[in-house]
Amino acid sequence: MQFQITTLSENCVGVGPQLLGEWGLSILVEADNESILFDTGASISVAHNAGLLGKDLAKVDKIVLSHGHYDHTGGLRDVLRKTGSVEVIGHPDVWGPKYGCLGEYKRYIGIPFCRKELEGLGASFSLSPDPVKITSEIMTTGVVPMVTDYEEIEPYLCVEEGNTMLPDPIADDLALIITTEQGLVVLLGCAHRGIINTLRHVQELVPGQPIDTVIGGCHLMSASQERVEQTIHDLKEIGVRRLGTSHCTGFGPTVRLAQEFGEIFFPNNAGTSITVP
């Protein structure tokens, strides 16, 4: 089976007329008569760019949320106005009261809509901490275990419990796995729980299959140089054959990844489309 993977929203714009770029991410996966939208960007960009790229959101069968931050869920309302009734898959914690906290300053960064409004527009939420089999070739990772000794979640990411701000474990952080003839394709939202933790978990979920392509946010923008170098080492050890970074990877880490991976690296921006295999 052939899969077309098109990035509808990302910080920057690649090739495409009058596309919008905004902080966030959304990737459309199409195969035969199946269409799955992975995240919905921060606001209007997905609905806007889809039309310009010739993608009909009314054909989307499922929406998968990588986690509950606004920059991956803020386009939900506009997308639902195009899709109508659709199943929305994610972890229960997508609805957590999520904040960015710096000292006394705090800012709400969770889903910017109430659940009832989205359900009124046709969203049917299917929330589970476990891996979810969407089709015979596509599944979610469920909760990603923290197994490396160098990947960690930023301390400024918090969740509100009562009147207290606590570190957010971002248990809702998940990836999408696509099984193809040439190996696995892994789509990352932000990889808050670590790109290597995520890929090691994928290897456990789908043993015996090479990881062919990794696309999406790697959340290395505030990582130490040591963490970036260890990530590069482990990506090579895993044997990733193609790497397209987006969104929260960060400029410096993106440059290092491009240097190390050469021709198998590509910047995955709004308008980028690849076909696998």
Average pLDDT, the chain: 97
DSSP of 193-250 = T-HHHHHHHHHHHSTT--EEEEEEE---TT--HHHHHHHHHHHHHHT-SEEEEEGGG-
pLDDT for 233-250, tens place per residue? 999 999 999 999 999 999
Q: Which domains, ranges and CATH numbers included, belong to the chain?
A: 3-276 (3.60.15.10)
Structure-token match 């269409």, residue found: 35
**Start-to-end Cα distance in the chain:** 8
At residue 260, the pLDDT reads 97
At what angle are helices 76-83 and 45-52 packed, to 10 degrees? 50
At residue 277, the pLDDT reads 86
- Contact (Cβ atoms closer than 8 angstroms) between residue 203 and residue 196: no
Is 127's pLDDT higher than 90? yes
At residue 204, the pLDDT reads 98
Integer Cα distance of 42 and 264 in angstroms: 28
Beta carbons within 8 Å of 1's beta carbon, 6+ residues apart: 31, 32, 137, 180, 181
pLDDT for 152-183, tens place per residue? 999 999 999 998 999 999 999 999 999 999 99
Q: What sign does the CA torsion over 114, 116, 119, 121 have?
A: negative
At residue 14, the pLDDT reads 84
